[in-house]
């Protein structure tokens, strides 16, 4: 049996719901910021006296 989504039906709502993957986005943004900030601090510590 094929169930077709109908407006107002919960199945219809899920058919157009965005994928639940916001955690991956947050992880990527945090990882990028941590790598760049760590390297910037590493550069700062070495070049502080220049």
Site of interaction with other proteins (CB under 8 A): 16, 18-22, 24-25, 27-29, 31-33, 35-37, 39-40, 43-44, 46-47, 50
Which helix (H) or strand (E) is 41 found in, with range?
helix 22-47
Residue closer to other proteins (CB basis): 2 or 44: 44
Q: What CA–CA distance (Å, rounded) separates 25 from 19?
A: 12
Q: How far is the CB of 4 from other proteins (least distance, A)?
A: 20
Residue closer to other proteins (CB basis): 1 or 18: 18
Q: Give, in order, the Cα–Cα distances in Å from 19 to each of 14, 15, 22, 42.
A: 9, 10, 8, 38
């Amino acid at each position: 049996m094929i169930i077709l989504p109908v407006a107002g039906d919960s199945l219809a709502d899920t058919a157009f719901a965005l994928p639940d993957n916001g955690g991956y986005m947050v992880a990527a943004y945090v990882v990028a910021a941590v790598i760049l900030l760590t390297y910037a601090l590493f550069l700062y510590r070495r070049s502080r006296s220049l």
